[in-house]
Amino acid sequence: MDPVILPNIPKLHTIDVYEANGGYKAFKKSIGMAPEAVTDEVKKSNLRGRGGACFPTGLKWTFMPKKTDKPKYLCVNGDESEPGTFKDRQIFESNPHLLLEGTLVACYAMGITTAFIYIRGEYGKWIRMVEKALDDARTRGYVGKNILGSEFSAEIIVHKGAGAYICGEESALMNSLEGERGYPRIKPPFPAQYGLWGCPTTINNVETLSNVPCIINNGWDWYSKIGAPKHPGPILVGVSGHVNHPGVFEMPTGVPLLEIIHKYAGGVPGNKAIKAVIPGGSSTPILRGDQLEGVSMDADSMKAAGSAVGTAGLIVMDEDTDLLAVLARIAKFYHHESCGQCTPCREGTGWLEKVLNRFVRGEGRGEDIDLLMDIANNIEGNTICALGDAAAWPVQSMIRRFRDEFEKRVGAHPVKEEAA
């Protein structure tokens, strides 16, 4: 299929080129439809969130109350911080108007008049690109009061984060936007009932909203036939690690991982064997390289293989990779990013890091393998948000699939620094 999220059109980031290529057509079409019909179109398309959870987007939109005295808000999640994930940045850079158009359609469908695009602070350069696109869209009358002479008004505000992985969690993002520490909230109540400032709020990922215009333009039927039937549509897969051509590739869902690695990303340097892959960002369970046959980039296939699509940030590791050093690094990350509210996560992520570093130093003890599993099991499911799970899954999956790697390192001599 031809790419629709990141088509290869020079200067598509400018409003002139975007409009010349059918830009804002979906938005114009939407405001001629009933809002419910727009939501229905997205619902029937089977679009599922691209931020990691694969939740059906149209269904999420229907959770918003139709009648309420309170203002309603849309949060666009551009906090993109999951290690191995770098796809939303590509949208900010190459196709920011697509994101704005999807945002406007979502606002119209849900009767929302204010949307906040929350972008991680490290993306300063890309924040300015989105702001420029927003200024241009406003100048052309797509944003503001009585848009294009209609009854519909919507304002979009770009909000800069300040360095905290946890703010990609939807309720932490809302707290951060409210000027608080980025602490996740206990759910329920869910954002559609009690979101920003206690008002009904929907949070969608950047790539998710960028999928909306093509659904409106071509219809749900067209969209639902792209890729994997239960998880359809184009998907941006970011491939990094040991591949010849790392990068972000747009493809239909359901492409086999081996095809992604060998055809899209040019294979493994030196034709080395693949030892392991992390398929969808650092929190998704690791898969063995010798068990990738038949596994593809869609929710069902990934689930069957014992992992998840996550953010589709695929990290490839060749046969020479020190997997325990990788796991220790992942553990360090989650320890650093734990917000500290829940004891199992705050303490457990630190314990995981310490015990894993023992293995990296060659000082692991036989009982440490079960200890790691025990700590991970006691974090998973026992915290307010999914960061605890995200810290537990890599450890659990590594022990299940690469137990020999741990056993080899019990009481072994210290590994050389080079190995890392």
Partner 1 sequence: MLTPQNLQRIENLKKSYPHSQALVLPVLWIAQEQYGFISQDTMKEVAALLKLPFGHILGVVTFYTMYHTKPVGRNHIEVCTNVSCMIRGSQKIVRELEEKLGIKMGETSNDGAWTLSEVECMGACGGAPMCAIGEEYYENLTPEGVERMIESASKRKVGA
Residues of this chain that interact with partner 1 (CB under 8 A) are 71, 80-86, 88-89, 120-125, 155, 157, 159-165, 176-182, 197, 238-242, 246-248, 278, 282, 313, 315, 317, 321, 325-326, 329-330, 333, 336-337, 339, 417, 420
Three-state DSSP class for residue 74: strand
Least gap, CB of 133 to partner 1 (angstroms):
17
Contact between residue 277 and residue 397 where contact means Cβ atoms under 8 Å apart: no
Nearest to 137 by CA among 248, 272, 19: 19
* 25 vs 262 by CB, closer to partner 1: 262
* 42 vs 172 by CB, closer to partner 1: 172
Number of alpha carbons in the 13 Å side-chain half-sphere of residue 218: 15
Least gap, CB of 381 to partner 1 (angstroms):
24
* 214 vs 260 by CB, closer to partner 1: 260
* 45 vs 341 by CB, closer to partner 1: 341
Least gap, CB of 364 to partner 1 (angstroms):
20
Least gap, CB of 83 to partner 1 (angstroms):
4
- C-alpha distance from residue 388 to each of 107, 225, 377 (Å): 32, 36, 10
Q: Within 10 A of 340 (CB to CB), how many other CB atoms are there?
A: 12
Least gap, CB of 144 to partner 1 (angstroms):
13
Least gap, CB of 326 to partner 1 (angstroms):
6
* 121 vs 366 by CB, closer to partner 1: 121
In one letter, which amino acid is 220? W
Q: Which two tokens stand for residue 379?
A: 């974090």
* 11 vs 336 by CB, closer to partner 1: 336
Tell me phi and psi for residue 158, to 5 degrees: -90, 125
DSSP state string for 218-252: H-HHHHHTSEETTEESEEEEEEEES-SS-EEEEEE
Radius of gyration of the chain (CA): 22
